Structure 1
Amino acid sequence: MSDSRKPKKPLVADRRYSKAPKKAAPKKPAPRKTTKRRKAAPKRTGVSGFIVGLFRWVLRLIWLVTSRATIVGLIILALAVGYVFATLPNVNALLDGRARGSVTLLDRDGKVFAWRGDQFGGVVTAQSVSPHLHNAIVATEDKRFYRHIGLSPRGIASAVRINLAAGRGPLSGNGGSTITQQVAKLLCLGEPYDPSSGQTEKQYEAECRRGTLQRKAYEAIYALAMEAKYSKAEILTIYMNRAFLGAGARGFEAASQRYFGKSAANVDPSEAAMLAGLLKAPTRYAPTNDLERSQNRAATILRLMNEQGYLTNAERAVADANPAKLSAAAEARAGGYFADWVMDSGPEFFTRNTTEDVIIRTTFDQRMQKAAEDGLKWIFDNKVRKGSQAQAAIVVMSADGAVRAMVGGRQTKVVGAFNRATTALRQTGSAFKPFVFGAALDLGYSPMDLVDDAPLTLDIPGSGPWSPSNYDRKFRGQVTLTEALKQSLNIPAVKISESVGRDLVRRVAVDFGIGDENLAQGPALALGASESTLIDMTGAYAGILNGGSAVTPYGLVDLRLLGDDAPLMDIAGGIEERVIQVDSAQQLIWMMEKVVSEGTGQRARFGDRQIAGKTGTTQAARDAWFIGFTGDYVAGVWMGYDNNKPLTGVTGGGLPADIWREVMQRVHEGVPPTALPMQAPAAATRPIDPTPQRPRSTEGIINNLLRDILGGRATGSGSSAPSPNAGDR
């Protein structure tokens, strides 16, 4: 038996694990990151809870409605823009939107001197104009033009702020419109002018410029559509061609030609700035109205161009030091009255209401026009009292009726003004007497025939006795016809008129171009109680100068459409039928030369030229005339008040003769003297019977017989005579 108490040797395995293995401690779970929950706000109850809930509900409702309305509005806007987009034409159809055409007037040398109607000048593009002009327009009108989509909220907000600060309405004054919006306005939102609508062009344009909210909304839609349809360059091109820039110029090419006589492709920075400055207020800033104001506006544009990087400091300094100036034609603004007369007398469908671009060549002479204006100004500056409201008119023409210069009033740089040379009907006074003496000479009377300057009384049916008197109330006894005309004696003129027959005097005057409807009926006809215009009287004197043939004063030589070489119409001249014989006209010229060399018209003399003419002063000196001619040109001068107030100390031989002299001296500078076509009479004299006599020419005898058959020669009066001292000095 073994001793069981004897200790046993441990087994190998037991020795390996002599110590019992420790159990691994269980891993503690990672602590959870817990967020502290805010304690829920206690639920409001009662009235406050109701109000808060209602407020939240309203906000949600507003958001819901606003978002839906915005979506609907955007859809409607997209549809509206899409509709306008579909109706927009090709860009080329929008470049010339004029409702009427233009008229360009050329002088006798083919140089432009006046424009009428809407001048266009031709299409320009954003790429073809001068870069300076392109930059000036963008800098002035819309500096963010190339960055917006047609609308500029920042510009609109700025404009509203400026308007409110100035005390205006938010949409009055500055509009904040982009160039695109301005084009939409120029296009009148696609509504073209319809002359048959009964609406004038001015009313149409005013409607297009309305600034109501509704109109602004339509304008915005149209602008967005254009931005989608056209490129920026095309929009700017439309703008450059349609903008009105004053003086009838539509588009920058027309304006550049109008003011500077050059293409818009060639303008320099100062000229570009002046053109761009017109966009704000074309009439106010037009350089033809106020050059200094236009230059000041251009200086502002140059500053903007410099600030926006379009001009360097050096370039701006050069432009500021050399402001833009008008071309010679634009600066002269010549022929305002003449141009208006040509427009009124020409065919209406090619002048006043033309839809074409018309070129009219005229008889106008810019040198003579300046001579007329300068001569008139010199007299009023040096011989007329300051503040006088007296007016004057001048017409200069050739012997064939070609009008070379015209002044219709003291204000010479005008357009559309009242033209006293062509429109004012005024009593002619003794300026009418050459027609009396011309009628006598044509019947065989001699300049040396005698007439008795003695008291005369005529019994006028329906008016009673009438006794004319001379200006100085003196009587000279037997005087020649030449002396009677030279001294502008009234009684001899009446006796001669009665002797040859006043109806014959009337016919001579009418045939020379004096309107029959304005001629007096009684014996006062011989003293110029009739009315006429200055241009008609001057034209009648031109008929005397050319040898006795009537002329029609004219200014239009030929007319053609722009781009055509062949004229549509032309005028060969103004000479018409003969009124008196050549020898009668030449003897009358001889008598009228004595008026200037020895008689009432001596203040018209200048140099060593032969001059013939006649003075005229009407009743109470309401009108004063001098009309005369050299061997080259005829000129007429009228002076008076528009309201028929009498002139103070003025007769036809005074200030009107002075004006005539100052004008014609300048007209004849550099012109060689030409002898008058006059004929001295024979020395024989014979007395004239103041009672009506049968004329000594065969034609006159036939006319007298006809008058006798029709009821006598000295009947009819109906016109008041001048005051007893009407006449001249």
Structure 2
Amino acid sequence: QQLAKNLFLSSERSITRKLKEAFLAFLLESRFTKHEILKLYLDRAYMGGGAFGVEAASQFYFGKSVRDINLSEAALLAGLYKAPTKYAPHINLPAARARTNEVLSNLVEAGFYTSGQVHAARLSPAKIVENRTNNSPDWYLDWAFEEVQRLAEGKGQYVLTARTTIDLGLQRAAEEALVSRIRSSGRALRARSGALVSMDVDGAVRAVVGGLDYGESQFNRATAARRQPGSSFKPYVYAVALENGFNPRTTVRDSSRSCGNWSPKNYSGGGGSGRSLSLTEALARSLNTVAVDLSLRIGREKVLEMVERLHVSGIRKSCSMALGDGGVTVLEHTGGYATFANGGKLARPYAIMELTNSQGEVIYSRERDEPQAPQVLTREVAEQLNTMLQAVVEGGTGGRAKLDFTNVAGKTGTSSSYRDAWFMGFTGQYVTGVWIGNDDFRPTAGITGGSLPAEIWQSYMSVAHTDMNIPTIPGLAPHPRQIEEQQRIAELKRTDPGLTSAPAGGGRDKRMSATTRDALKRLATALRKAAGQEPVRPEAPPARRTDTVTETRKASAETGPAGPAAPSATPGDPDRISPR
């Protein structure tokens, strides 16, 4: 029955699924021997760490073929079938060892091995290959596996190979940026958890960090945790306002408007200064009074319709809806902002580019099978909103997210009592969301979206962009540094007609020291002279990546769709929601 579920069914818990499982199990037993059924199961069951089947698991955990493992290693693998995530040795080695001992005892009781043989195996426990976890994007793979299950459902395929959107370089950079900052500053600021999602503007997810340590907790805070977005929700309200006759220069008043028995207050604690200001300034200063007033004037139903249009869920219709009343995931929230960065075209987060069966047939291709992204916001509205979000970074609450080489648009968010702190932002290339908080919803020590989350965002995005060939954000003029780079490229092409493509980089490759670059330039010149050619102008180092779509699986050539899924604070930030 377990094989039937892994091959043909989802992990849904229902009477109907159990009946199907029993029927399919009967068919398998009528057509295959017990030995064949066992082999099929062992070759396809999920065994933790993104590995499917005993061969892949043996390579992943031990660095060798299953044909070469000893008794203690075999017992460890056998113990994984019960709960692969719980007993995976790279996640919880003590639990894996305890489970291994249990399996060894069962082997003695069943008469397969003697007590002496098992005792010898216990004296030589399995050794796990070191540093595997450092190259293991578990958070991303857990989510991607769910996507594979969804896309492969009903296709009747046994073995699938998935080509994913992950960028391992960006994944490592994201983990480093988030984990290192929380480890160093989190204790003092009473923040013990966080999450980060980074994607292309079209929704191709490049990195997912669902917590600080996958070994301690496999709960994916990036894709499963719903947290109050605070003022980072306001751009959705402003987008509706722009659709209904407002523009970035529209004059609004900073004054509180009652909704039932509740009235919003700004970060300062007051109900507004009463002065008039532009819509752009109101968003840059993150005034709660203006956001609530807008939602009441244009209609909260329209705000709900907007977030549904952008596939952001979890928001409640309430008086404080404009301030993020409800809970959103980092993944969905980042996807919502990606639509702004995509010029108003819907950008739903995705992980899978292609699924291929064991015969090499493509059973799913995103390019072939998915429709063109619909224009869910007009280009004009997206461009207007982007100029307003740029003002948040240039002169508002998001100043710490500013990059010196390209434009940034984004928004800070802080929930009541400092329980959640967000920075959501994008360049013309990447959209990244950062959340900081605690799993038990305890307040942090005054962390606002404009402090630690913005700093983490800035640290990661500085590394993520490896060259100056960055598209412009819709509605914004190119950054001065990018204009300089375009002029540099034009000059190179003018002086060297044989140059068909200008070298990317503009000096932004983080991997090379100046000494290394100079040595490579001298070597290139020497080689050109040796070949009888004129010396070329020194070139900038190549970009870190040439192919942003990589195939990622762990020590396995097969992925089965139907198995169980592996499973410093600054005072005075006005984006915080006042207590209600």
Give the TM-score range, shorter chain: 0.5 to 0.7
Displacement, 1:494?
1.9
Alignment-derived partner of residue 419 in structure 1: 220
- 1:458 maps to 2:258: yes
Distance (whole Å) between structure 2 residues aligned to residue 243 and residue 431 of structure 1 = 43
Displacement, 1:331?
4.3
1:136-175 to 2 correspondences below 5 Å: none
- 1:446 maps to 2:255: no
Structure 2 CA distance for partners of 1:331 and 1:587, relative to 1, 3 Å: same
Alignment-derived partner of residue 177 in structure 2: 375
Structure 2 CA distance for partners of 1:639 and 1:352, relative to 1, 3 Å: farther
CA contact (8 A) 2:144 2:352 kept: yes
- 1:568 maps to 2:363: yes
Alignment-derived partner of residue 315 in structure 2: 519
Letter of the 2:292 counterpart: V
Letter of the 2:346 counterpart: A
CA contact (8 A) 1:551 1:575 kept: no
Displacement, 1:258?
3.1
3-state SS, counterpart of residue 186 of structure 2? coil
- 1:480 maps to 2:278: yes
Displacement, 1:423?
1.5
Alignment-derived partner of residue 56 in structure 2: 254
3-state SS, counterpart of residue 281 of structure 1? helix
Alignment-derived partner of residue 266 in structure 2: 470
Per the normalisation by structure 1, the TM-score is 0.51
Letter of the 1:507 counterpart: E
3-state SS, counterpart of residue 373 of structure 2? strand
Alignment-derived partner of residue 557 in structure 2: none
After superposition, give the CA deviation of every residue in 1:265-316 in whole Å (9 maximum; x if it has no partner). Answer: 8xxxxxx56x66412434699774589999xx9xxxxxxxxxxxxxxxxxxx
CA contact (8 A) 1:391 1:640 kept: yes
Distance (whole Å) between structure 2 residues aligned to residue 245 and residue 398 of structure 1 = 29
1:352-371 to 2 correspondences below 5 Å: 356-371=158-173
CA contact (8 A) 2:230 2:576 kept: no
3-state SS, counterpart of residue 136 of structure 2? coil
Distance (whole Å) between structure 2 residues aligned to residue 539 and residue 346 of structure 1 = 19
Alignment-derived partner of residue 278 in structure 1: 73
- Which runs of no fewer than 5 residues in structure 2 stay unpaired? 12-19, 26-34, 81-86, 101-125, 478-573
Alignment-derived partner of residue 652 in structure 1: 449
Distance (whole Å) between structure 2 residues aligned to residue 250 and residue 260 of structure 1 = 15
Distance (whole Å) between structure 2 residues aligned to residue 679 and residue 381 of structure 1 = 36
Structure 2 CA distance for partners of 1:449 and 1:511, relative to 1, 3 Å: same
Candidates 324, 343, 353, aligned match of 1:528: 324
Distance (whole Å) between structure 2 residues aligned to residue 422 and residue 376 of structure 1 = 16
CA contact (8 A) 1:343 1:352 kept: no
- 1:335 maps to 2:127: no
Alignment-derived partner of residue 390 in structure 1: 192
Q: Which one has a bigger Cα radius of gyration?
A: 1
- Which runs of no fewer than 5 residues in structure 1 stay unpaired? 1-96, 104-116, 118-193, 200-233, 266-271, 298-322, 681-722
Structure 2 CA distance for partners of 1:673 and 1:383, relative to 1, 3 Å: farther
Alignment-derived partner of residue 631 in structure 1: 428
Displacement, 1:621?
1.7
Per the normalisation by structure 2, the TM-score is 0.63
3-state SS, counterpart of residue 302 of structure 2? helix
Displacement, 1:560?
2.0
CA contact (8 A) 1:101 1:358 kept: no
Alignment-derived partner of residue 31 in structure 1: none
Candidates 400, 405, 416, aligned match of 1:608: 405
3-state SS, counterpart of residue 377 of structure 1? helix
Distance (whole Å) between structure 2 residues aligned to residue 559 and residue 404 of structure 1 = 18
Distance (whole Å) between structure 1 residues aligned to residue 156 and residue 208 of structure 2 = 24
Distance (whole Å) between structure 1 residues aligned to residue 353 and residue 7 of structure 2 = 18
Alignment-derived partner of residue 494 in structure 1: 292
Displacement, 1:373?
0.6
Distance (whole Å) between structure 2 residues aligned to residue 278 and residue 625 of structure 1 = 44
CA contact (8 A) 1:278 1:286 kept: no
Displacement, 1:591?
0.9
Structure 2 CA distance for partners of 1:549 and 1:264, relative to 1, 3 Å: same
Alignment-derived partner of residue 617 in structure 1: 414
1:32-47 to 2 correspondences below 5 Å: none
Letter of the 2:409 counterpart: A
Letter of the 1:552 counterpart: R
Distance (whole Å) between structure 1 residues aligned to residue 285 and residue 331 of structure 2 = 25
Letter of the 1:376 counterpart: L
Identity %: 34
Distance (whole Å) between structure 1 residues aligned to residue 200 and residue 404 of structure 2 = 20
Distance (whole Å) between structure 2 residues aligned to residue 243 and residue 581 of structure 1 = 47
CA contact (8 A) 1:428 1:616 kept: yes
Letter of the 1:484 counterpart: A
Candidates 285, 301, 306, aligned match of 1:508: 306
Displacement, 1:546?
0.6
Structure 2 CA distance for partners of 1:390 and 1:471, relative to 1, 3 Å: same
3-state SS, counterpart of residue 385 of structure 1? helix
Letter of the 2:296 counterpart: E
Displacement, 1:575?
6.0
Structure 2 CA distance for partners of 1:558 and 1:611, relative to 1, 3 Å: same
Worse overlay, 360-369 or 251-260: 251-260
Alignment-derived partner of residue 119 in structure 2: none
1:683-702 to 2 correspondences below 5 Å: none
Letter of the 1:577 counterpart: P
Structure 2 CA distance for partners of 1:651 and 1:443, relative to 1, 3 Å: same
Structure 2 CA distance for partners of 1:521 and 1:485, relative to 1, 3 Å: same
3-state SS, counterpart of residue 532 of structure 1? coil
Distance (whole Å) between structure 1 residues aligned to residue 248 and residue 406 of structure 2 = 22
CA contact (8 A) 2:232 2:424 kept: yes
Structure 2 CA distance for partners of 1:636 and 1:594, relative to 1, 3 Å: same
Distance (whole Å) between structure 2 residues aligned to residue 195 and residue 344 of structure 1 = 20
After superposition, give the CA deviation of every residue in 1:140-165 in whole Å (9 maximum; x if it has no partner). Answer: xxxxxxxxxxxxxxxxxxxxxxxxxx
CA contact (8 A) 1:392 1:639 kept: yes
Displacement, 1:374?
0.6
Alignment-derived partner of residue 695 in structure 1: none
The higher-RCO structure (CA 8 Å, 6+ apart) is 2
3-state SS, counterpart of residue 558 of structure 1? strand
Alignment-derived partner of residue 409 in structure 1: 211
CA contact (8 A) 2:318 2:325 kept: no
Structure 2 CA distance for partners of 1:442 and 1:541, relative to 1, 3 Å: same
CA contact (8 A) 1:426 1:623 kept: yes
Alignment-derived partner of residue 480 in structure 2: none
Structure 2 CA distance for partners of 1:433 and 1:327, relative to 1, 3 Å: same
After superposition, give the CA deviation of every residue in 1:516-535 in whole Å (9 maximum; x if it has no partner). Answer: xx333233222211322211
CA contact (8 A) 1:375 1:666 kept: no
Alignment-derived partner of residue 17 in structure 1: none
3-state SS, counterpart of residue 343 of structure 2? coil
After superposition, give the CA deviation of every residue in 1:618-651 in whole Å (9 maximum; x if it has no partner). Answer: 1222211111001100011112222222222111
Alignment-derived partner of residue 22 in structure 2: 196
3-state SS, counterpart of residue 362 of structure 2? coil
Letter of the 2:252 counterpart: V
